Structure 1
Amino acid sequence: MKTGNNGPTPKFKSNAMNVKIGTLIEFRRKGILYQGLVMMIREVSVIVKADLIIGEDDLTVVNHANYEIITTTPTKYITNIESFC
């Protein structure tokens, strides 16, 4: 992580600057690729709703450096993102 006059900045600014609530992202956990919806954006991470265990929806934290944006358009089956928080 780089350190500037305003404190630490994420390694990959592009993810932090382009991600929005409702964005679909991909990330890896223990070698397994997951997809999830961004529910909250933090300074160095996002909170994601993902299906980590089959049949269960979980919230998890993913660092900006550890995911790839799939689409910045909220998926069509989400009508009210707050209802999922």
Structure 2
Amino acid sequence: MSINLTNDTLQLVGVFQAQAHGHPEGAMVQMTCYMAEYTGEISAASEIEEITWLNYSDKDKISEVDKLIFDFLKEKDLLS
């Protein structure tokens, strides 16, 4: 099943940039992150094989840009 975002709850969290995982030095990745309320169920579909929920203690499992996002969310008390 897919999800439907509640448009009037959409909020920009931030834009984060870091070294791209597994790519030559200097190859950067940029992620623009939003938060929103939604209905439906998040599930794997198309090219996404698996959905896994991660906590701050899982930082050793994520890319550099994700670490920036996790640190930001933790600082704002939005991630446990």
User: Normalising to structure 1: TM-score of the pair?
Assistant: 0.24
Q: Which has the larger radius of gyration?
A: 2
TM-score (norm 2): 0.25
Structure with bigger helix share is 2
Q: Which structure shows the bigger proportion of residues in strand conformation?
A: 1
